[in-house]
Amino acid sequence: KQEVTQIPAALSVPEGENLVLNCSFTDSAIYNLQWFRQDPGKGLTSLLLIQSSQREQTSGRLNASLDKSSGRSTLYIAASQPGDSATYLCATRKLTQGGSEKLVFGKGTKLTVNP
């Protein structure tokens, strides 16, 4: 059974700092890994998706890496801004014969960027 862990649970940084959020998973047989952003009381916004054959994906100030063999992914945020304050969730998906399967989520890292 897949377990996804995110460390740290909470992180507070000053504006402008570069930071790294960590995600680890126990079953390396994943199809892809997706990073989401969740604002308080809101839905999940997809940030980046990394296929199992890829090592990293970039979107603007965000860079996500994947090391499947060690069961780890990181989300790097460059030049953080107060608007980046949110909870960041990592989720893995395992593909079965029937098609795309469920996502297994970590508990998230709550990021606060202070002006």
Partner 1 sequence: EPEVTQTPSHQVTQMGQEVILRCVPISNHLYFYWYRQILGQKVEFLVSFYNNEISEKSEIFDDQFSVERPDGSNFTLKIRSTKLEDSAMYFCASSDFVTPAAFFGQGTRLTVV
Q: Find the shortest distance in angstroms from Cβ 81 to partner 1.
A: 22
Question: Is 106 an interacting residue with respect to partner 1 (CB under 8 A)?
Answer: yes
Q: How far apart are CA 69 and CA 51, in angstroms?
A: 14
Nearest to partner 1 of 61, 107 (CB atom): 107
Residues 40/41/47/50 CA torsion (nearest 10 deg) = 110
Taking the complex as a whole, the smallest distance from the CB of residue 77 to partner 1 amounts, in Å, to 19
Among candidate residues 47, 42, 37, 114, the one with its CA nearest the CA of residue 81: 114
Residues 71-100 that bind partner 1 (CB under 8 A): 89, 91, 93, 96, 98-100
Applying the rule CB under 8 A, the residues between 18 and 47 that interact with partner 1 are 31-32, 34, 36, 41-46
